[in-house]
Amino acid sequence: MTSTKPTSADRKSAESASAAVHVGTSDPRTLIMNNLRQSGIFVALVVIVALFAFLTDGLSLSPGNITNIVLQYSYILVLAIGMVIVIIGGHIDLSVGSVVALTGAVSAVVVIRQGQPWWVGVLAALVVGIAVGAWHGFWVAYVGIPAFIVTLAGMLLFRGLTLRVLDNISLSPFPAEYNRIAAGFLNGLIGGDGYDAFTLLIGGIAVAGYVVSGFRTRAARVRYQQPVESFALFVARMALVGAVVMWFAWQLAHARGLPIVLIILAALVLVYGLLTRRTVFGRQVYAIGGNLSAAMLSGVKVRTVNFWIFVNMGFLSAVAGIIFSSRSNGAQPAAGNMFELDAIAAAFIGGAAVTGGVGTVVGAMVGGLIMAVMSNGMQLMGVDQSLQSVVKGLVLLVAVAFDVYNKRRAGASR
């Protein structure tokens, strides 16, 4: 056969060559546009913080109140980390409130009733949480029951078990060591006059770590000829984050110092942020949520991944259960009621998609903080409980509606 050289290939390779040129350039506008959804959430948080600072005459930003927000909502944020992973995988977990109650109850029975040391209670709670997660994971992953049903059953089941474990009564108080987990502070370690120098030191180390890792990432991207933000923008971002963190540390240092739960929470956010973005497991969670069949046909062991998603949720529920029981200094049969809804709301406000495959840990944290700042602000203003619930419900609805609208405009829903 005599065929002339195909002109189509020529034309098209020329097009691709011109398209490849822009790699390695820096266009802050595209970078910002690409991250609009994420930054939109940050903007919303800033607006809400500012709004309540104004409405409460700055009371909401006082050192004491900021410490309070951290202590009060830490367990919701811990749950939201697990929940956003569950949601990215295309599932839901309605049982986390009951699991928080159960793990707290087990811990209380071990420590308060049986007089074991505090760490035995912590271990027992973690074991129970992981076992509950494995139970859910088994039904979802290996039997193939939708997570909505499995965890709805779990919600009833584990609430019932909580009542059983506690014999329908509250247990309190925990010994001081256990209580320190949620109510304790690291302060006075290196002194300071009227403020805690240690807190500032940790804040400084965190900022330094952020800047160093930012530089390394940037350098690596440049080495791989990837587009990066302009240097000025990069420095501005580093400075802004550094300033916010240091201001936050400053406020904490002038209250009671560095809360232990904040350290736990920061460690979890760091670890899970990396887990979701940088590990094979994390990628497979996104792949499953994005297109289950395609993931399966790409060799992803879907059952195994689903199983571990729920085991992890159980583990984090136990962590939240420990923090909550420690904070309330005891275990109550009704503990953790409706926590699942707060955690789910945090994930969705933070940009997770109802259909799965989309969401970030950081987003869920910001979503959780938006809820936290609103609740706290309304409490400071003495807004009625009923009205608070109405406002939170509307914020959730508007946040998701905004997200859906954005996507439709972007044409992603086609």
Contact residues toward another protein (CB under 8 A) are 1, 3-4, 6-9, 12-13, 15-16, 19-20, 22-23, 34, 220-221, 223-224, 226-227, 277-281, 283-284, 286-287, 290-291, 293-301, 353, 357-358, 411-412, 414
The residue type at 199: T
- Residue bearing tokens 């940009």: 351
Residue (226 or 230) nearer to another protein, CB: 226
Residue (296 or 341) nearer to another protein, CB: 296
CB 253 within 8 A of CB 197: yes
Distance CA 44, CA 65 (A): 20
Distance CA 407, CA 414 (A): 10
Residue (219 or 240) nearer to another protein, CB: 219
Which contacts (CB < 8 Å, 24+ apart) does range 31-40 have? 31/227, 31/229, 31/233, 36/406, 37/351, 37/403, 37/406, 38/351, 38/360, 38/362, 38/363, 40/402, 40/406
Q: What is the three-class DSSP state of 259?
A: strand
Residue (222 or 263) nearer to another protein, CB: 222
> Nearest distance from residue 310's CB to another protein, in Å?
19
> Nearest distance from residue 289's CB to another protein, in Å?
9
> Nearest distance from residue 210's CB to another protein, in Å?
18
Q: Which of 58, 139, 44 is nearest to 95 (CA)?
A: 139
Burial class for 27, CB neighbours closer than 10 Å (0-12, 13-18, 19+): middle
> Nearest distance from residue 38's CB to another protein, in Å?
14
Distance CA 151, CA 140 (A): 9
Residue (91 or 256) nearer to another protein, CB: 91
Residue (19 or 143) nearer to another protein, CB: 19
Residue (19 or 169) nearer to another protein, CB: 19
> Nearest distance from residue 297's CB to another protein, in Å?
5
Record the tokens describing residue 217, joined without a space: 């990432």
Total residue count of the chain as it appears in this document? 414
> Nearest distance from residue 144's CB to another protein, in Å?
14
> Nearest distance from residue 31's CB to another protein, in Å?
10
